Structure formats: C-alpha cells, structure tokens
Amino acid sequence: MTSFPPAPVPAAPPLWEKPPERIAFMAAPTDVARHEFDRLVRQYGNLHPGEAEVIVCLGGDGFMLETLRVVLEQGLSAPVYGMNCGSVGFLMNPMLEDNLPERLTTTQAATLHPLRMKARTTQGDTHEALALNDVFLFRQTRQAAKISVEVDGLVRMPELICDGALLSTPAGSTAYNLSAHGPIVPLSGNLLPLTPICPFRPRRWRGALLPSTAHVGFTILEHEKRPVAAVADSIEIRDVVCVHIHEDRTLAVTVLFDPGQTLSERIAAEQFSA
C-alpha cells in the first residue's frame, strides 16, 4: 500500500502585521510577579486593559484564570498572553522579557468559552459565576453528599453519593478533572467531562462525556443534613440546594501561546505523560 505524507496544516494568520505597541500588564500579588511587572513596565510602558492591543498576565494559572474572567466580565477584546511567575504554568509561557513585542507577533491563539454557573442557596439567594476551568460541587462536612444529576432536563442519576461532582471545560480537563480520574478532552472535541469526586454509590461510575450544548443540573438531596458548596474556578458559593451549568458560547476569550506550545498541543501531550 502506498503511503503519503500528511497534508500540511495551514498556519493561522498573524494577529498583528507589526509588533504590538499598546500593551497592558497585570501582575499577581506575589513578590516575583510584582518584580517582573516593574521591569516590564519600565521597558515597554503600561496601558489600561481597555486601551491595549494585548494583555500580558504575570503570575500562575490561578491568576491567569482571574485575568481571563475580568476580560470576560468587562467585555474586553484584547487577547491575553501569560508569562509564568508561578509553579505549574499550564496556561502560561516562559518568563522572558527581551523582545516581547516581536515574540507576540509569532504567537498562536486559542479561543475559550466559559461555563456559566447559576446556584441557589438554602437562604433562597441566587448567584451566577463564570468558569474557564471547571465548576465543582464538594461536601462541606464529614458526611458524603447526595446529589441528583440532570442533563438537558432529564434526571440521569437520581442519587449520586460522593464527595462531590465536577463539570469541566476542555481547557480545564487536565486540571482538577484529571486528578479526579476524568478524561482529557481536546479543545476541538466540543465535549464537557462530567466527573464524580470519590463516588461511593454507584461505586464504579466514572462519569460521562457530554456534548458542549448540554445543560447540567445538580440538586442537593438532604441539603440541611449534608451541606454542599459549589465552586466556579475560584468563586465559592456555600450551602447550595441546586446548581445549573452550561457552556456560554456567547462569550469568548483569546489566549496566546508561543509557537509549538499551543494549548491543543499541551492537552495532547498530557495524554501521553507518565
């Protein structure tokens, strides 16, 4: 059988025809990030994020998620380029300050859509939050949570006894979802992993892969005896009685990565790591 080399993948068009000059820097409240912030601002200046062509985020993955949420909530259009001043830095690029504008012209973009969480508490209050990694529920006391799981209006699991449950974006599938033994999902997969956290009954249920159009509902059973908190990335709502989640395709944020280190490549490589 004759074999043929794979067809070349066309390169994405550059975001800028010339190196961007209007840069906004945002730094995590750590000594390392603030030190790098001062050095970069002296070298390149600093603009308000609403006036910038690109936002450079200095910190770790947690601060990157906070920055992306600010971009979404304020309706900013500038893409975000992360420079790692933290530990893991899965969403970040190396901390190299030289020739930053020129480096930005070679970056490759990934478009992310957030999950939108709406949670109602035992007090009757309703809270909404966005999450680019995941939304998870977790028991607040020593007793296991009892949760009913609904997908698109249909109760798929009347009672899940567990420490919690998690709905992840593809970008977040390598984070808490992976630690909870959930599947890694490619960015192009249009799938949302639904993963139990330490399930007791059904003991062998490993979760589900849902289409990105799915609307997921969690109802907390025996919520007074077994209180549960809901967390959207870093926003925690305690004593919830029901939580509804869906991917909000009306919102998008662009994240930039150095050549050869795109988010899709990082997610693919994670599937083959030890």
DSSP, residue by residue, 100-167: HHHHHHT-EEEEE--EEEEEEETTS-EEEEEESSEEEEEESSSSPEEEEEEETTEEEEEEEEESEEEE
* Distance from C-alpha of 119 to C-alpha of 195, rounded to nearest angstrom: 19
Determine the CATH number of domain 23-112+252-270: 3.40.50.10330
DSSP β-ladder status, 23-27 and 54-59:
parallel
Predicted local confidence at residue 203, as pLDDT:
87
46 is in an annotated binding site: no
Is residue 181 predicted with pLDDT exceeding 60?
yes
45 is in an annotated binding site: no
163 is in an annotated binding site: yes
Instruction: Give percent of the chain above pLDDT 70.
Output: 95
User: Model's pTM, two decimal places?
Assistant: 0.87
Identify the CATH class of 115-247: mainly beta
Predicted local confidence at residue 177, as pLDDT:
94
Mean pLDDT of 112-121: 97
Q: What is the mean pLDDT of the chain?
A: 92
Residue pLDDT, tens place only, 219-269: 999 999 999 999 999 899 999 999 999 999 999 999 999 998 888 888 888
**Burial code of 157-183, b = ≥16 C-beta within 10 A, e = fewer?**
beebbbbbbbbbbbbbbbbbbbebebb
The reply to whether domains 23-112+252-270 and 115-247 share a CATH topology is no
Q: Where are the domains of the chain?
A: 23-112+252-270, 115-247
137 is in an annotated binding site: no
Residue pLDDT, tens place only, 131-178: 999 999 999 999 999 999 999 999 999 999 999 999 999 999 999 999
Active site residues: 61
178 is in an annotated binding site: yes
In 3D space, the residue among 158, 139, 145, 129 whose CA is nearest the CA of residue 217 turns out to be 158
